Chains A and B, each alone.
Chain A
């Protein structure tokens, strides 16, 4: 029987980061991977965020053969007819907070290249890697304390600490008694079709505009993300959302003309069908117990907005590796001692991400992953742009008609503003659950639905000329004080 200081279960980016950190601090470390090589079991959205390169020095040496740097992201909107109505792009800000963030949005890579490279860094640091090995559960000593793991090869490995880096269906978490399976509302399923294409074709058609999101009235938000010689096209949603088989929605995504154009213009050929689950929590709660720390998806550390996982897995892996060293120096691996792990991740970018967790989930569930919302959000955005920019009538007439064009969307807009967007804005800027925030949200939720539909009803009664209502109202309550103030100033100047 082999004895280690730390056993890491899982050879993904989180497991490798944990093993690397632990081994570098001098701990005798082993990590297990059930595939024949790391990355063989993993599916990813492909995009590594700039945070990965800001926070991990070793990541800056990353040089993978099929990387594509995404310098632009594009959001496409398509309506109930499955017709694309709008397209918006964004690029890194010239005022981005740090250099990498100013250079690109993501660096798109394949897990089959990233994971083995990261595992290589861990083994170079002295960690032992055992592949083709499934850990079947934690083991306990005669006193019931967790003292290692057993594998499907019939071997047992002993260690003072076990780090669970084994993904959504964490064997470590379940056999250590930390939790059973997640609630369906806490997990999402994401389906991908991987396509291969010639680098020159993707360079010509896509270039750096390598992150396309397809927000629709018919399916939960889809995406096509491009790497150097391929792309992932897919979509996903919470496990408790699916009313029909995922292919029903996938068919509609693939029927979109824009998606078809990308495939045809890049001469892309389908190579692989992929599906995987990711955690989608508002706030992870139990991430450690006696002798065990959970990291990455095993802990529920995917970002609640777009389920970015690799960065959070690596960051939590690094923290767990550090805490392992300190706990072993203290000679105390009890939950009380490992509570330091939760203190550290709460105080890190991981914890930051979950400050607005519930509000973000409200927004994602209410709008992002909700085609029913797309049925009014998308035409509303289109009508707003059309109303402002069309040349079908004189601009004067168009401006006059704009409010009437947007009035039908008011009831849903108001409800969504109060329910999803206001809490999002408030919670993103401050810690959650502070009484004044809740009061503001409640007040707005009460006030807005009363005021705006009233205006909308008035508008509806005035022959579709919203301006006949709003202009006097705006004049009375908003513009009049300014006009009066200006008149007073003029008067005073004249005096």
Chain B
């Protein structure tokens, strides 16, 4: 079984503003965000963290990437009130 298939099962009111980003200048390329993200939204490109373009549609707003970022390159804030992830069966 590939549990990656479950990541399609996410409900959202897709936010129209950016709420997650990485500062490529500050990023040291540790790759912690790539390892931790259960939605596979990060990759390393040129030894710098790169966020998926459609992250607003997939991000679970868990903050895990922000939490494990060692150099403080990742900024995370919740999307605006009433927007973003909708957990139906939490």
Given contacts A189-B36, A251-B2, A270-B6, contact A34 B87 (CB under 8 A): no
- At the interface with chain B, which of A96-104, A198-206, A237-245? A237-245
Asked whether, in the complex, the Cβ of A277 is within 8 Å of the Cβ of B6, the reply is no
Q: Which of B38, B60, B62, B90 has the most CB of A within 10 A?
A: B90
**Assembled-state Cα–Cα distance A171/B37 (Å):** 22
Asked whether, in the complex, the Cβ of A111 is within 8 Å of the Cβ of B90, the reply is yes
Main secondary structure of the interface of B (DSSP, over half): loop
**Assembled-state Cα–Cα distance A277/B7 (Å):** 17
Asked whether, in the complex, the Cβ of A189 is within 8 Å of the Cβ of B62, the reply is yes
Q: Give chain A residues whose Cβ lies under 8 Å from the Cβ of B44.
A: none
Asked whether, in the complex, the Cβ of B63 is within 8 Å of the Cβ of A168, the reply is yes
Q: Give chain A residues whose Cβ lies under 8 Å from the Cβ of B81.
A: 34, 131-134, 151-153
**Assembled-state Cα–Cα distance A414/B48 (Å):** 44
The interface size of chain B toward A, counting residues with CB under 8 Å, comes to: 37
**Assembled-state Cα–Cα distance A247/B64 (Å):** 14
The number of chain A residues touching the other chain, given as a range, is 35 or more
The answer to whether the Cβ of A411 comes within 8 Å of any Cβ in the partner chain is: no
**Assembled-state Cα–Cα distance A34/B13 (Å):** 13
Asked whether, in the complex, the Cβ of B10 is within 8 Å of the Cβ of A242, the reply is no
Per the 8 Å Cβ criterion, residues 42-70 of A in contact with B are 42-44
Given contacts A44-B90, A242-B36, A247-B3, contact A270 B64 (CB under 8 A): no
Which B residue sits closest to A276, measured CB to CB?
Answer: B62
The answer to whether the Cβ of A357 comes within 8 Å of any Cβ in the partner chain is: no
Which A residue sits closest to B36, measured CB to CB?
Answer: A242
Q: Give chain B residues whose Cβ lies under 8 Å from the Cβ of A181.
A: 66-67
The answer to whether the Cβ of A274 comes within 8 Å of any Cβ in the partner chain is: yes
The answer to whether the Cβ of A112 comes within 8 Å of any Cβ in the partner chain is: yes
Asked whether, in the complex, the Cβ of A169 is within 8 Å of the Cβ of B90, the reply is no
**Assembled-state Cα–Cα distance A243/B36 (Å):** 8
Q: Give chain A residues whose Cβ lies under 8 Å from the Cβ of B40.
A: 245
Q: Which of A153, A187, A196, A245 has the most CB of B within 10 A?
A: A245
Binding site for B on A (CB under 8 A): 34-36, 39-44, 110-112, 131-134, 151-153, 168-169, 171, 181-182, 184, 187, 189, 191, 193-194, 196, 230, 239-240, 242-247, 250-251, 254-255, 260, 270-277
